Structure 1
Amino acid sequence: MTRRRRWQAAWRRPETRWAYLFLLPWILGFLVFTAGPMLASLVLSFTDYDVINPATYVGGENYQRMVEDPEVRTALFNTVLYTVIHVPLSIAIALALAVLLNQIGGRFAGFFRTVFYLPAMTPTVAVGVLFLLLLNGQNGLVNALLRLFGINGPAWTTDPDWVRWGIIIMSLWTIGGTIVILFAALKNVPNDLYEAARIDGAGAWRQFREVTVPMISGSLFFVTIVNTIASLQMFTEVYTMFYGNAQSELQASDSALFYVIYLFQQGFQFLEMGYASALAWGLFAIVLIVTLVQVKLGDRFVYYEGDDR
């Protein structure tokens, strides 16, 4: 049977038509709000467009400018550095907390799981404002706690050498989702594997390394990809902290300039929509390449149940 005949036979079934009917709102939403704007931005990336005047075709000038722009290199460096530090650190802390939750068990596990996840529900703008106060170099709570131990805390929000670390500390506020995912993965690890490992004389660390990590490697792979994509698109919290106040922006602009912030500035502050569209497609290419590399590497390190490799 040819592909066309198989399609015709499937379409004659009522459940197939009902399935497409229920999918129709999503398909229309995807075309109008995702695929359409993406196609429009791709076209705009080859133009000089300031919203007010008609777009003028400029070919690849926007992409050439993007490659030569030193601000793009600064923003990309800050974004990549943040991603390289934040993703492993957040996953390591989330995994440690998930293991502790798994050890607690009972009703208390549900309580602490809720406590750990609640910060992730905080609006991102509120998180930025909150940590702008917490990380204040003079009267912030973080430095006040450090002073209790005789440590003079740095100027987290104004010292260029510490701005990035302040952003990383702030980003740990929202690891609750990662904790819940890894906790669910730990719950699915069969106890028989731990019992067999103990019989073979494996200690706690070896059980974690040889049993726990391989069995939850799929979830670790998932949160690595998701957190990497989110880190490369970091915007709201940093913009709220450093670009809602003119003084902070002047003092920490280079260290707090992330890629999406620079994209936003070009598009909505300077109205260079063509250049902003080129920057957006540049970020899309970076995210796509990084994700493909992670998927390729994941084939080597991720264990799937029923996999004979």
Structure 2
Amino acid sequence: MTAVAQAPAGAPSTTSGRRPTSRRRREALAAMLFLAPDMLGLLLFLGIPMVACLVLGFFQVDGFGGYKWIGLGNYERMFADPLFLHSLRTTLLYLVILIPGLFVVSLALALLVRQRFPLVGLVRSMLFAPNVVSLVVVALVWKFMLTDQIGVIDRILGFFGVTAPSWLGTPKWAVGSILVVTIWFAMGYYMLIFLAGLQDIPREYYEVAKLDGAGPWQTFRHITWPLLKPTSFFILLTSTVSMMTGGLDLLYVLTSGGPANSTTLIIYYIYQQAFVYGEFGYASAIGAFLVVILLIWSAALFALTRGGRFGDGDK
């Protein structure tokens, strides 16, 4: 007879080998339960509306519950609509000026508040303060300040004998005013992101550079900027998406798309078509087109910067 091998006295039994597996299952189940509320929220408030927007883009909706399949009719109408093309050009011009300006101002502020000086905490709080106030309130305050003749800014300029232009009543000044207010509102938020990236850079690098005799510009160029590239990539991506899809409250309160449609950005045009004219199908088609633009921009940014490494050759 063949002897049956006996397990050593201290060896774990076969049943004990199942314990790690069951423990991993319990941990996975607990993780799923914790994630379920967020996943449900994303599905209800993001996933389903996105699918509904894509589907509605192929229908003509009259606002009273009537749906008519028109295929690509809304998209054909979109590219033949001069107001849509105008809003698209205005949005692209707006972003070309806004994103670099917001990037530079936020980075400069982050470099400033990174320094140690009295009341630096208060300065950081004041710069971030607009982000904790409703955008509608911010827009109302700025509209009061920019009102012709009786606004705060006009009164200050008038005290020095300067005739102020119509900040919100002239196309070129209205666009400039929207840009200034947007940068003022958003710079504190992106300043904090830059500040977090700066604080992650080891201070030993700066100490070595100082011993080598490097000046402020050389230190920024060879240490700060290369190590800040992942943060810069994140800000470029999120600020573009945020500025293209947000700010409707600000536009509505300050200019309502005027004067002469000079501040009618694509997000405001979508609002007009959907909630002013009841063209929900057409508005959904424009919204789907906007999502495609953002996806192309995101993919291009990932490709050009190698996911935030900006072609450094890092692996």
Report TM bin, short chain. 0.7 to 0.9
1:72–1:259 Cα contact (<8 Å) kept: yes
2:171–2:262 Cα contact (<8 Å) kept: yes
Question: Offset at 1:52?
Answer: 0.7
2:302–2:308 Cα contact (<8 Å) kept: no
1:149 and 1:83 map into 2 onto residues whose CA distance is 34
- Please say if 1:264 is aligned against 2:276: no
- Please say if 1:41 is aligned against 2:53: yes
Question: Which residues in structure 2 correspond to 1:1-309 (within 5 Å)?
Answer: 13-104=25-116, 108-147=119-158, 151-174=162-185, 175-233=187-245, 234-243=247-256, 252-299=259-306, 302=309, 308=314
Tell me which residue corresponds to 2:13. Answer: none
1:267 and 1:80 map into 2 onto residues whose CA distance is 22
Q: Kindly tell me: are residues 10 and 138 of structure 1, through their superposed partners in 2, closer, same or farther at Cα, counting changes over 3 Å?
A: farther
In the TM superposition, what whole-angstrom CA distance separates every residue of 1:27-61 from its partner, at most 9, and x where no partner exists? Answer: 22222222112111211110111231420100100
Question: Offset at 1:148?
Answer: 5.5
In the TM superposition, what whole-angstrom CA distance separates every residue of 1:115-149 from its partner, at most 9, and x where no partner exists? Answer: 11111111111111111121223232233444456
In the TM superposition, what whole-angstrom CA distance separates every residue of 1:229-285 from its partner, at most 9, and x where no partner exists? Answer: 111123110111112xxxxx6x60421111111111111111111101001101111
- The worse-fitting range, judged by mean Cα deviation, of 11-20 and 264-273 is 11-20
Q: Kindly tell me: are residues 115 and 129 of structure 1, through their superposed partners in 2, closer, same or farther at Cα, counting changes over 3 Å?
A: same
Q: Which amino acid aligns with 1:16?
A: A
1:260 and 1:164 map into 2 onto residues whose CA distance is 15
2:60–2:70 Cα contact (<8 Å) kept: yes
- The worse-fitting range, judged by mean Cα deviation, of 221-230 and 25-34 is 25-34
1:296 and 1:287 map into 2 onto residues whose CA distance is 14
2:159 and 2:224 map into 1 onto residues whose CA distance is 38
Q: Which amino acid aligns with 1:203?
A: G
SS at structure 2 position matched to 1:254: coil
2:101 and 2:41 map into 1 onto residues whose CA distance is 36
1:79–1:231 Cα contact (<8 Å) kept: no
SS at structure 1 position matched to 2:119: helix
1:182–1:219 Cα contact (<8 Å) kept: yes
Q: Which amino acid aligns with 2:309?
A: V
Q: Kindly tell me: are residues 159 and 11 of structure 1, through their superposed partners in 2, closer, same or farther at Cα, counting changes over 3 Å?
A: farther
2:268 and 2:22 map into 1 onto residues whose CA distance is 48
1:300 and 1:218 map into 2 onto residues whose CA distance is 8
- The worse-fitting range, judged by mean Cα deviation, of 115-124 and 292-301 is 292-301
Q: Which amino acid aligns with 1:262?
A: Y
Q: Kindly tell me: are residues 10 and 226 of structure 1, through their superposed partners in 2, closer, same or farther at Cα, counting changes over 3 Å?
A: farther
In the TM superposition, what whole-angstrom CA distance separates every residue of 1:141-169 from its partner, at most 9, and x where no partner exists? Answer: 23344445654332110011211100011
Q: Which amino acid aligns with 1:86?
A: L
Q: Which amino acid aligns with 1:178?
A: Y
Q: Kindly tell me: are residues 147 and 189 of structure 1, through their superposed partners in 2, closer, same or farther at Cα, counting changes over 3 Å?
A: farther
Structure 1 residue runs of 4+, over 6 Å off? 9-12
SS at structure 1 position matched to 2:261: helix
Q: Kindly tell me: are residues 26 and 146 of structure 1, through their superposed partners in 2, closer, same or farther at Cα, counting changes over 3 Å?
A: same
Higher helix share: 1
Q: Kindly tell me: are residues 296 and 152 of structure 1, through their superposed partners in 2, closer, same or farther at Cα, counting changes over 3 Å?
A: farther
1:278 and 1:73 map into 2 onto residues whose CA distance is 14
Q: Kindly tell me: are residues 76 and 304 of structure 1, through their superposed partners in 2, closer, same or farther at Cα, counting changes over 3 Å?
A: closer
Q: Quick one: percent identity of the two aligned structures? A: 32
Q: TM-score, normalised by structure 2?
A: 0.86
Q: How many residues align structurally? A: 293
Q: Which amino acid aligns with 1:235?
A: L
Q: TM-score, normalised by structure 1?
A: 0.87
1:214–1:303 Cα contact (<8 Å) kept: no
Q: Kindly tell me: are residues 145 and 10 of structure 1, through their superposed partners in 2, closer, same or farther at Cα, counting changes over 3 Å?
A: farther
1:183 and 1:30 map into 2 onto residues whose CA distance is 29
SS at structure 2 position matched to 1:256: coil
